[in-house]
Amino acid sequence: MPVKETVVWNLIIKKCLDCGDLDMGERLFHEMPMRVIAAWNAMIHGALNQHRRNDEALVPFKQLVGYGVQGTPNTYSCVITACASALGLGLGARIDGHVIKLN
């Protein structure tokens, strides 16, 4: 996928999330030909920070890991916040261990 096209997809998804339309953001995310880390982060961040859906913020992260995509510091920050908010402390500890292994 050309870089310009990827940027446009990410901007549209982020705008949907900023406007409160998590469902449309998810739909576009799943239609995206190639998901880059910025799109994954937008979905995690959108579910967590804009909609307080802590449990839903963990779904894209689990998919990201399942696909073998490496997160960024922003990814892990959002996910650990979601774990703390959702009382997913065991998962938060495993994610912390994963981050330590990456470094």
Which among 38, 44, 77, 39 is positioned nearest to 62, based on CA atoms? 44
Tens-place pLDDT, residues 27-62: 999 999 888 899 998 888 887 766 566 667 678 888
Give the domain ranges of the chain.
3-102
Q: The whole model's pTM is what?
A: 0.74
58-78 pLDDT, tens digit each: 788 888 889 898 889 888 888
What sign does the dihedral 87-98-61-37 (CA atoms) show? Answer: positive
